[in-house]
Structure 1
Amino acid sequence: MAERKIIVTTIGELELPTGEIVACDPLITGLGRPAFSRKVRPGRYPVVLLEARGRVAAAVLCFGPGLPVRWELATFARDRPSAYEFEFIVDDAVASFMDKSVLTMMSDPEELDDYLADVACFRDRFVVDSPIDGNPLNIAMCDTGWGDGAYRSFWGLDGAGEPLLLMTDFEVLENADGRESNQGN
């Protein structure tokens, strides 16, 4: 990471009481904000940003120590087919991680959307914030690399297939896995 000049910043811990993770542009409504198909053990987990070239290159949720031995594309649980089974759309240059229960903690969906818009618009480059004072549920938001786009997330798994991390790639780094480029082929 030093060779690529990647800055690692822990921005806080995300509360996951159900273990169902939602990654989305918090300002896009009407898409149902689905959770990923894979669940993790409920708990509180660090959120880490990898920054390169002055931009957020990846957002990472860390579930355990060690390095992944394999990677798996994270898919969304959907009750109907969608063109976006493997990625989420960002239209406002901001992405978020949250527990699925955050989406139902406010009785009025418009109140939740207003809260998310307020936090997204008034954050610096990243923030971990709680919608309701005294409630541990929170949401992590950050800038998205080059801005708007369709972004994919990946599970970093240990030898037993258990998640060590969940990483959303904001496409700032080419060949982030260390492979040589095949330019000219």
Structure 2
Amino acid sequence: MAVDIGELLGRLLSEGARHSDDTHDYHLTMVPVGDVTLPTGRVVACDPLVYAGDSPPFTVPVTPGRYPLRAWVAVIGFGPPGNRVESDRRTAALQLVIRDQPTTTWEPACVPDPAVPDPASIDEDGFAVYPVDSGTGTFADEQAVAALAGWPYERLEDAYIPAVIEAAPSPLDAITHEASGANVLLVSTGWGDGAYATFIGRGADGDVTSFVTDFRVL
């Protein structure tokens, strides 16, 4: 059965939305995590601690500028219905807001086709995904990600590997390309490692409103 992207993201990008199963409740809340500087407007979504050097930008660019990043956090309750208590918090989605206006259509975000396609880069729903092996993800400018790929491990550790990890979305931010001020602001990804799809929203005029990565919590 084809996935309805609008329905999928509507479950994630709604303040106060609640979803339940046999053992858990999920309460969605939006957490602003900072601004992302895009000097080139070429957006990359990736695990920046492992794949910064292997992550091309999406085929849809945006106007260079500075844009807010929002984490949609699932506050998870556990226990019998009617008596569930908060047991965890997980980053359910990450949203890079380009224009703060209603989104009328969604489309899968794509990178240029590689010469040799990797089957692992497509999920069971047919969407392009990026791999995560450090439990973190980001939206950042191509320039910022390329600069981060050249950092020595000691600098990476100082900026992005805290002694104590905060509850989701666990944001960490650092300027990685000093000439432009481009930064990489990462958050925790869903239940951790995996492969996650990104979608592009457009307004009624066809302009991009946001990029959203679904971390498969719901």
* TM-score for both structures, normalised by structure 1: 0.82
Q: Which amino acid aligns with 1:2?
A: G
Q: Secondary structure at the match of 1:102?
A: helix
> Where does residue 87 of structure 1 map in the other structure?
129
Once the two structures are TM-superposed, the CA of residue 111 in structure 1 deviates from its matched residue by 2.0
Deviating 4+ runs (over 6 angstroms):
none
Work out whether 1:120 is the aligned partner of 2:134.
no
Unaligned runs of 5+ in 1: 174-185
Q: Does 1:21 align with 2:61?
A: no
**Per-residue deviation at 1:137?**
1.2
Q: Distance in 2 between matches of 1:72 and 1:113?
A: 36
CA distance in structure 2 between the aligned counterparts of 1:100 and 1:11, rounded to whole angstroms = 20
Q: What is the deviation of 1:6?
A: 1.2
Query: Residue 94 of structure 2 aligns to which amino acid in structure 1?
Result: A
Flag the 1:118–1:35 CA change in 2: closer, same or farther, 3 A.
farther
Alignment pair present for 1:165 and 2:210? yes
Identity of aligned residues (%): 30
Change (3 A) 1:116 1:163: farther
**Correspondence 1:70 to 2:70:** no
Amino acid of the structure 2 residue aligned with 1:14: V
Q: 1-side partners of 2:108 and 2:179: how far apart?
A: 35
Aligned with residue 9 of structure 1, among 10, 19, 31: 31
Match of 1:154 among 189, 192, 199: 199
TM-score (norm 2): 0.70
Q: Which residue of 2 aligns with 1:180?
A: none
- The one of 51, 72, 77 equivalent to 1:50 is 72
- Does residue 150 of structure 2 align to residue 139 of structure 1? no
Mapped contact 1:26–1:117 kept (Cα < 8 A): no
Inter-CA distance 35–73: structure 2 relative to 1 (3 Å threshold):
same
Greater Rg over alpha carbons, structure: 2
Structure 2: gaps spanning 5 or more residues: 1-14, 19-26, 77-88, 123-127
Q: Quote the offset at 1:92 in angstroms.
A: 1.4
Contact 1:29–1:113 (CA<8 Å) still a contact in 2?
A: no
> SS at the partner of 2:172?
strand
- Cα distance per residue 1:39-69 (max 9 Å; x no partner): 0111100000000021000000001121210
Determine if contact 1:57/1:145 at 8 Å carries over to the other structure.
Answer: yes
Matched length: 171
Alpha carbons of 1:165 and 1:29: their partners in 2 closer, same or farther (altered >3 Å)? closer
User: For residues 114-150 of structure 1, what are the alpha-carbon distances to aligned partners after superposition, in whole Å with 9 as ceiling and x for unaligned?
Assistant: 5445433226411222136685211110000111111
Which segment drifts farther, 22-31 or 34-43? 22-31
Q: 1:129 maps to which residue?
A: 174
